[in-house]
Amino acid sequence: DAGVIQSPRHEVTEMGQEVTLRCKPISGHNSLFWYRQTMMRGLELLIYFNNNVPIDDSGMPEDRFSAKMPNASFSTLKIQPSEPRDSAVYFCASSYGVLQETQYFGPGTRLLVL
Amino acid sequence: KNEVEQSPQNLTAQEGEFITINCSYSVGISALHWLQQHPGGGIVSLFMLSSGKKKHGRLIATINIQEKHSSLHITASHPRDSAVYICAVTNFGNEKLTFGTGTRLTIIP
């Protein structure tokens, strides 16, 4: 199994540009999570999906952030327009089952907004 | 909102020492997770537990539901155990993880 796949691994962009992060969960997993990690705030849940449906997006910082999961094998997190304070590592994780299941993390995307 | 606290924030020990990292939370949970984040940034799930104790190799995790407290123990610590250890909890009724701030462990040869 390839594990959770994220792309790109690194992204450097200028303020105001659109950024799209991509995630492919582990095959067969039906829950997908987007997290953000910064030095100041640690790990934070942004949004999670179950069976491709967004369940809780209360962690999404503001309207500049949006996430989609068009099918069971692909999800995107988009930031438009990007700002320097969005610089962080963004992790995607997936799990199987409804509750209390181990989450498997992708390698993360390190985003730098100049 | 569940408050998750870890202690200590930083821990340096000599190779071979027995290590204990603590985690406490404020509201009843459905499960508690211990994660390991390597210096390169990758995150690995070590344990998920809702009661009692789990053991994997040199790692042991315990949880006391009544006291809302969990501990992660490492026996015969090794420099490769150097990492940030993160406690996280899931609340009843959903899969959201609430994270502690992490404990940075450094094992000196």
For position A49, what pLDDT does the model report?
Answer: 93
**Which residues of B are less than 8 Å from A42 in CB distance?**
86, 99-102
Cβ separation B86–A43 shorter than 8 A: yes
**Interfacial residues of B (vs A; Cβ cutoff 8 Å):** 30-31, 33, 35, 41-45, 48, 50, 86, 88, 90, 94-102
Helix or strand run (H / E) with residue A6 = strand A5-7
**Which residues of B are less than 8 Å from A102 in CB distance?**
33, 45, 48
DSSP 8-state secondary structure symbol assigned to residue A96:
S
Among A43, A46, A56, A94, the strongest candidate for a mutation testing the B interface, having the largest count of B CBs within 10 A, is A43
Distances (CA, A) of A16 to A11, A13, A19, A63: 14, 9, 9, 14
Question: Dihedrals φ, ψ of A3, to 5°?
Answer: 80, -175
Q: Nearest-CA distance from B54 to chain A in Å?
A: 14
Give the residue-averaged pLDDT of B39-64.
Answer: 92
Among B49, B95, B97, the strongest candidate for a mutation testing the A interface, having the largest count of A CBs within 10 A, is B95
Give the residue-averaged pLDDT of B19-47.
Answer: 91
Question: Dihedrals φ, ψ of B81, to 5°?
Answer: -80, -10
Least confident window among A55-59, B34-38, B82-86: A55-59
What whole-number percentage of chain B has pLDDT above 70? Answer: 99
Give the residue-averaged pLDDT of B82-99.
Answer: 87
Q: Label residue B27 by pLDDT band (50, 70, 90).
A: confident
Question: Amino acid identity of B30?
Answer: S
Give the residue-averaged pLDDT of A44-73.
Answer: 92
For position A98, what pLDDT does the model report?
Answer: 55
The answer to whether the CB of B102 falls within 8 A of the CB of B8 is no
Q: Residue A100 above 70 pLDDT?
A: no
Give residue for tokens 């993160």. B86
| A31 → chain B, closest CA residue | B95
Cβ separation B94–A55 shorter than 8 A: yes
